[in-house]
Structure 1
Amino acid sequence: MHMDEPLRRYLTGLVTVAGEVLGDRLCGAYAAGSVGLAAYQPGRSDVDVALVCADRLDRAVAGELVARLRHEALPCPARGLELVVYRREVARSGTGEPGFEVELNTGAGMDFRVSYTPADRPAADGLFWYGLDRSILHQSGRALIGPPAAEAFADLSPSDLRRLVRDALRWWLDRPVPPGDLPAPGAEDAVLGACRSWVRLRHGVWLPKVAAGRRLLDEAGPLVDADTVDLVEQSIAARTGGTPPTGPRARTFQRRVLAAIGAEDPAY
């Protein structure tokens, strides 16, 4: 995929720093998220990167990596960097467990946060992200160094995938939203994220959020009616400056997706 020059320089610098800190313990570096899915939007998207290391990182090494990659040391040209480091055995495990060595959020547009174990994360933040992210990496990760992402990361089993997708939908439903008819910033991502989950379970492919919304509408399946068309189109427009949908309207759609996913799963 094409990357703009600031992003290309940044990722090159990030890989260089990771190599200096981890040495021959660094097995690979992978662009994930919107960069891996060829949907990166300068000014809106985060930069998601996964590093794979040969063995456990002690706290001193993990701390040095954080110090040298935080925005103040290596300025991120996007809203921020979301970095996760996995051991090679975790990346290849195909499980839904978090299993990371260190996680770093840093950037001009996001709060700084570092977690050295999954137990460091507040329970309310959810632990389903990591298995889903590794599934996306398996399909669409862009190798910056190391073997292809499909070799470095195993996909989830169908049962684990469905479980984590349901957990993600419930997490979004639990987020506070403005009452009534007020636009809810971020509701567009909740709607399109639900579309992406539906498409992945129904068609076996992870798509960027906007493409997933289009795919859901194009298939004219059981979730698509006039209100869904309007809601998804509004959510797509909101990503380029349009008015986001209201929270209650987004939640109604998310509940429909969750119910539809559960209806296909006898264990739900």
Structure 2
Amino acid sequence: MYGCAAGCGGPDHAVDTGQVVHLREDPHSIPIELRPYLAELVRRTRTVCGPHLVSVLAVGSLALRDYRHGRSDLDVTVAVEPSLPGPALHDLAGALAHPHLPCPAAGLELVVYGTDFLSRPSGTAGYLLDLNTGPLLPNRADVDAARSPAFWYVIDRSIAHQTGLSLFGRPAREVIAAPERPDLLAAIRASVREHSDGEGHLADNRVLNGCRSVVFCRTGRWMAKRGAAREVALAEEDFRPLIEAAVRSFERPRSSAIPLPAAAVRAFLTWVRERVDQTAARATGT
């Protein structure tokens, strides 16, 4: 693990300031306040990784068209050839670390994978580099996937396979294999357990992630958090006031999130966990 706060000031020599990059994705798919940053992120990634770079993909809320400026993180997946030299990961973490590259969003969550790993379905974390950085995220650059909870990465790769936006290189569906359904449902169950515990998560995000999990179990498709919330609120009258309050909170900056009743959040997530368990049981015939 590389401690970015102390060691990711970034090797300036690794960044070619003469290169101009235009995002591959239709610019209208990317919020205007993010376009220069993402173009620079792609440029620096290309400079560091060189011919070993295969794809740079926008995933998460950007891919699901639900990015909230001041609230959402930027989720980016980078695919590289397995022949990428090991020191390049440290160089990339340095080149992209905030404030060396000032992040305009709440934070950047960037994950680098080898194409040999991405080409096969997997229920493991499997990354080469997991970089968190930005004004509202603690700086972290980790290269030891074995010690990270796998479920975050399995869900993110599933979303990326379905909806990832190609900023550079090959499209997401050509690079990222969809996780197998049992692995994905296990990851969703682990995610719900994590949000049920609540530590380190805003209450509104816990509720909205629960809504998204329920909609995925019903449809097999990932939906933006607010769209999933609307669907669940319409179908589940008992939870409607809580879900509507969570959406109102989500539309505010993180620093002014609305407190939600803890007992109601726990009851909702218990209900979500039951829905996920039922889907998993049907999938396995148990």
TM-based fold match above 0.5? yes
1:150-165 alignment to 2 at 5 Å?
150-165=173-188
Equivalent position to 1:33, from 57, 60, 67:
60
Equivalent position to 2:237, from 213, 225, 229:
225
User: How many Å apart are 1:59 and its aligned residue?
Assistant: 3.7
CA deviations over 1:54-84 (Å, ceiling 9, x no partner):
1154442111001111012211111111000
1:102-141 alignment to 2 at 5 Å?
102-121=129-148, 126-141=149-164
Aligned to 1:142: 165
Contact 1:96 1:132 in 2 (8 A): no
1:78-227 alignment to 2 at 5 Å?
78-121=105-148, 126-176=149-199, 186-218=202-234, 220=235, 224-226=236-238
Separation (CA, whole Å) in 1 of partners of 2:279 and 2:99: 47
Letter of the aligned partner of 1:231 in structure 2? L
Contact 1:191 1:250 in 2 (8 A): yes
Contact 2:118 2:175 in 1 (8 A): yes
CA change 1:176–1:72 in 2 (3 A) is closer
1:236 matched to 2:252: no
CA change 1:207–1:244 in 2 (3 A) is farther
Contact 1:81 1:105 in 2 (8 A): yes
**Unmatched 5+ stretches in structure 2:** 1-27
Letter of the aligned partner of 1:17 in structure 2? R
Contact 1:57 1:101 in 2 (8 A): no
Contact 2:198 2:206 in 1 (8 A): no
Separation (CA, whole Å) in 1 of partners of 2:155 and 2:47: 29
Moved more, 11-20 or 256-265: 256-265
Bigger relative CO (Cα 8 Å, ≥ 6 apart)? 2
Separation (CA, whole Å) in 2 of partners of 1:246 and 1:133: 28
Q: CA RMSD in A?
A: 1.7
Equivalent position to 1:249, from 264, 271, 275:
264
**Unmatched 5+ stretches in structure 1:** 178-184
1:48 matched to 2:88: no
User: How many Å apart are 1:120 and its aligned residue?
Assistant: 4.9
CA deviations over 1:97-153 (Å, ceiling 9, x no partner):
1110001000111110110121354xxxx3211111000001110000112212211
User: What TM-score does the superposition give when structure 2 sets the normalisation length?
Assistant: 0.83
Letter of the aligned partner of 1:243 in structure 2? I
Aligned to 2:20: none
CA change 1:215–1:64 in 2 (3 A) is same
User: How many Å apart are 1:39 and its aligned residue?
Assistant: 0.8
Separation (CA, whole Å) in 1 of partners of 2:134 and 2:116: 29
- Identity across the alignment (%): 34
Separation (CA, whole Å) in 2 of partners of 1:156 and 1:4: 29
